[in-house]
Amino acid sequence: PHGQIYSYPFVTPRTEKLIASVRNHGGDFFGELVEFEKSSSRNILETENFLAFVPFAARWPIEIHLLPKRQVADFTELTAAEVSELAGAYKQILLSLDALYDRPIPYISAWHQAPMIENRDQIRLMLQITSPLRDADKLKYLAGSESAMGAFVGDVAPEETAARLKKVIK
């Protein structure tokens, strides 16, 4: 296993784009997203305070988003009970990934948090887990569409990934 933690002295381009999208949407974007995904076929795990789902436009063969149900800008805003619940949900998700192919699989966990100064009430803490595995022995490689044009092509329907994960999540 290997881990890295990054902290930037600026708001990253992806977060800037997300902030602009949230502003353009208006209202409580993340709250509406959580409510919508609760009843979607891509919902893979729901606890009292968190929801995990495969996003509609997943870029990777395996991609999971885990969000708190209430507005939480970063880890410091979680209660002790929420931290414990989050740890349990995170572990369930990681174990389900390994159960997909009966072996440990490569994955990236990215924790997204709100910027420290501005827009803290608009951006919600989110865990994004991705794996490049298309099948037990097949990796997704970024081709011209993804690398050159930034247009990701889905190898697997998000609903199919969610159905497979639901079968193995415990």
pLDDT at 72: 96
pLDDT tens-digit series, residues 34-73:
999 999 999 999 999 999 999 999 999 999 999 999 999 9
pLDDT at 81: 98
Q: Is the pLDDT of residue 94 over 80?
A: yes
pLDDT bin (cut points 50, 70, 90) of residue 3 is confident
Cβ-based neighbour number of residue 117 at 10 Å? 7
51 contact partners, CB below 8 Å, separation of at least 6: 34, 37, 38, 43, 45, 66, 67, 69
Q: What is the mean pLDDT of residues 124-138?
A: 93
Say whether 65 is catalytic. no
State what percent of residues in the chain have pLDDT above 70: 99
pLDDT bin (cut points 50, 70, 90) of residue 85 is very high
Pairing type for strands 62-68 and 108-112 reads: unpaired
Q: What is the mean pLDDT of residues 6-16?
A: 90
Q: Is the pLDDT of residue 1 over 80?
A: no
pTM summary value? 0.93
State what percent of residues in the chain have pLDDT above 90: 74
Q: Is the pLDDT of residue 100 over 80?
A: yes
pLDDT tens-digit series, residues 143-163:
888 889 889 888 889 999 999
pLDDT at 27: 87
CATH topology of domain 28-168: HIT family, subunit A (3.30.428)
Domain-wise residue ranges, the chain:
28-168
Selecting among 2, 25, 65, 112, the annotated active-site residue is 2
